[in-house]
Amino acid sequence: MPDEVLNDISHRRYNPLTGSWLLVSPHRTKRPWQGAQETPSKNTLPSYDPKCYLCPGNKRAQGDSNPPYKSTFAFVNDYSAVKETQQDYHPETNKDDVASLLLQARPVTGRCYVLTFSAKHDATLADMTPEEIVPVINTWTRIYASHLSPSHPLNSQAAYVLSTIPENPDGEVTPPKHQLKNMQIFENKGAAMGCSNPHPHCQIWTTSTLPEEPGKELVNMRKYKSDTGRHLLGDYVKLELEKKERLVWENDSFVVVCPWWALWPFEVLIISKRHVRALVDLDDKERLEFAQAVQEVARRYDNLFETNFPYSSGIHQAPLDCTEEEAETSWFHMHFYPPLLRSATVKKFLVGYELMAEPQRDITPEQAAAKLRDCGGELYRKSLQ
């Protein structure tokens, strides 16, 4: 265990990926709760919903119809956050012009996709088997590979992936005409995370700029590599496997940990054990073992409070357009940020001190990891059927 005193005293922990600190207050878990509570979710959804715009064969909001797909299906988001083409905007900054210094804006172009995980409206990653999740990972991989820049250091891996992973029989998305910088794959699960449709799906946003979070991680991983000659997450994986205090689960290719610097109560990281720069570096065995890791996280989350556990998750990997150094610095990992704190009805809120000063958590990552380690086994709701 870390220094035992840290279980009882307030302290700050450093996040080397972002270069930020957070406050940990383990003694606060003893305080009474008199705040808002919500009704636990129950999985009463049908396997097919004729009104769902993501179910096979149904019409979407803009009038297009989905094919009668059996597994995954990807399409351009009908309400994309960024436009592929738009009016040019190239403002200049001038140190003598206060407005140009303080009111800065930069254009962002791109394309957003939606990818369904399953044809079943009532399925989640926790309900699916690893073998059923592999087609999701294969689709992520093919989309990433098809969007890489012509000069990308991973192009040979991408070409191999595109020649060996079968195309989706229900059609594939085509990359935009202009090269984009970054691809962010993410899932918002549950109404608590702002998900507007319960049909299992994720989103894939490709943009002409590198967003803040992966950008900060890349800067700090490059600095660590420059200072030590080693990979930040490579060292971190070895450290967590040695200490095992925050280790939730592992297989040959991946570890699942509650990171030392976790902000959310049951936040976890899936990290590749070897140096994987992006999805295209994974072989068939590793894609299956990545699917196993994803399923383990989703199932343990649901088992923890016996509820349909909400979270936001996302993959960080090498940008679509990057230098050799940036690609080699990247280390494949997946974040899971869940809001639930004490039960299916009590959430953590980012308010007050956390908005005005710095992030704060109560339960320690070591305590959270211990709880998640105890939540393996069959998905709880299978015994309720």
- Residues whose CB falls within 8 Å of the CB of residue 65, separated by 6 or more in sequence, listed in order: 57, 58, 59
With CA atoms as reference, report the closest residue to 278 among 174, 176, 182.
Answer: 182
With CA atoms as reference, report the closest residue to 293 among 154, 162, 136, 73.
Answer: 136
Query: In the chain, how long is the greatest CA-to-CA distance?
Result: 69
> From the DSSP assignment, how many helices (H) and strands (E) are in the chain?
9, 14
- Cα dihedral 374/375/377/379 (nearest 10): 170
Q: Does residue 127 contact residue 114 with C-beta atoms inside 8 Å? A: no
Enter the tokens of residue 85.
Answer: 């083409």
Amino acid at 237: V
In 3-state terms the chain splits into helix, strand, coil percentages (rounded to 5) of: 30, 20, 50
Distance separating alpha carbons of residues 292 and 176, to the nearest angstrom: 32
Distance separating alpha carbons of residues 201 and 186, to the nearest angstrom: 9
Helix (H) or strand (E) holding 368: helix 365-373
With CA atoms as reference, report the closest residue to 265 among 338, 373, 188.
Answer: 338
Amino acid at 260: W
Enter the tokens of residue 286.
Answer: 């590793």
Of residues 152, 201, 316, 333, which has the active-site annotation?
201
186 CA to centre of own chain? 5
Distance separating alpha carbons of residues 232 and 224, to the nearest angstrom: 6
Q: Is 231 annotated as catalytic?
A: no
Distance separating alpha carbons of residues 202 and 346, to the nearest angstrom: 25
What is the separation, in whole angstroms, between the first and last Cα of the chain?
Answer: 40
So which residues are the catalytic ones?
Answer: 201
